[in-house]
């Protein structure tokens, strides 16, 4: 097994420890146990808990990017922006688990400067993507005439982040069908009605 694959397996062990016991429970020892390796071998890859957490947080982002790279985006930007937004809400178990881990990392980033840097970079990239999609919508004449690109990008980013948190916290009420309904209504509120000049 390559070193890169081994590192990914270790990161997945970090995620499992975080989901089960919380981020405070992650240490070189608990992660080594979870990954079925000795602390000595684990330290060969990650010397400290901090390195381990930064890598595990960055790998969440890489996984999402990989999923996005595999999407065949619809040429209609109204469909494409929805395909993109769908990657950041808990529509299936993989995404729900991803978001559980992300919530833990985001909270830890409030007081851990190495994680703050990862979080800030990630948030900025995500907002920039939303902004580009919204600008493309405007360019293609799909946005309501009174819409402001920056405001709509921030509003969409907020809805998506809020649904992610609520879909993790209360997966019964904020289930995949409800999430889809909320996104349907949200995009309808952004898009110009068919044939309308508004």
Give the bridge partners for 143, in sequence order: 191
23 binding its own copies? (CB under 8 A): yes
189 binding its own copies? (CB under 8 A): yes
Taking residue 116's Cβ as centre, other Cβ atoms within 10 Å add up to 14
Rounded CA gap, 166 and 53, in Å? 24
| Near its own copies by CB under 8 A: residue from 47, 62, 71, 151 | 151
* Among the listed residues 45, 60, 143, the one whose alpha carbon sits nearest the alpha carbon of residue 105: 60
Shortest gap between Cβ of 147 and its own copies (angstroms)? Answer: 7
37 binding its own copies? (CB under 8 A): no
Residue pair 190/152 in contact (Cβ under 8 Å)? The answer is yes
- SS3 (DSSP) at 147: coil
Residues numbered 39-78 forming contacts with its own copies, rule: CB under 8 A? none
What phi-psi label fits residue 122: left (phi over 0), alpha (psi between -120 and 50 degrees) or beta? alpha
93 binding its own copies? (CB under 8 A): no
91 binding its own copies? (CB under 8 A): no
- Residue 45 or 152 with smaller CB distance to its own copies: 152
Token code pair at residue 63? 């996984």
Give the angle subtended at the CA of 21 by the CAs of 97 and 11, to the nearest 5°: 55
Shortest gap between Cβ of 140 and its own copies (angstroms)? Answer: 20
107 binding its own copies? (CB under 8 A): yes
| Near its own copies by CB under 8 A: residue from 37, 64, 114, 154 | 154
160 binding its own copies? (CB under 8 A): yes
Rounded CA gap, 124 and 117, in Å? 11
Shortest gap between Cβ of 75 and its own copies (angstroms)? Answer: 26
182 binding its own copies? (CB under 8 A): yes
121 binding its own copies? (CB under 8 A): no
Question: For residue 22, which phi and psi values (nearest 5 degrees)?
Answer: 95, 160
Provide the binding-site residues for its own copies, judged by CB under 8 A: 19-25, 100, 103-104, 106-112, 119-120, 123-124, 127, 146-148, 151-152, 154-155, 157-163, 165-166, 168-170, 173-174, 178, 181-182, 185-186, 188-190
């Amino acid at each position: 097994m390559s070193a890169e694959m081994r590192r990914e397996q270790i990161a997945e062990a970090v995620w499992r420890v975080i989901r089960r016991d919380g981020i405070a429970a992650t240490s070189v020892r608990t992660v080594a146990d979870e990954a079925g390796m000795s602390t000595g071998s684990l330290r060969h890859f990650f010397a400290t808990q901090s390195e381990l957490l930064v890598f595990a947080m960055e790998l969440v982002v890489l996984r999402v990017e990989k999923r996005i790279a595999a999407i065949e985006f619809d040429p209609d930007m109204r469909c494409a922006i929805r395909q993109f937004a769908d990657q950041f809400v808990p529509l299936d178990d993989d995404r729900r688990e991803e978001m559980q881990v992300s919530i833990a990392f985001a909270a830890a980033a409030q007081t851990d400067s190495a994680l703050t840097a990862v979080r800030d970079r990630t948030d900025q990239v995500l907002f920039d993507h939303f902004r580009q999609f919204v600008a493309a919508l405007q360019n293609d004449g799909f946005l309501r005439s009174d819409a402001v690109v920056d405001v709509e990008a921030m509003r969409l980013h907020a809805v998506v982040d809020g649904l992610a948190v609520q879909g993790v916290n209360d997966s019964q009420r904020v289930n995949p069908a409800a999430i889809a309904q909320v996104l349907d209504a949200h995009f309808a509120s952004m898009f110009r009605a068919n044939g309308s000049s508004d």
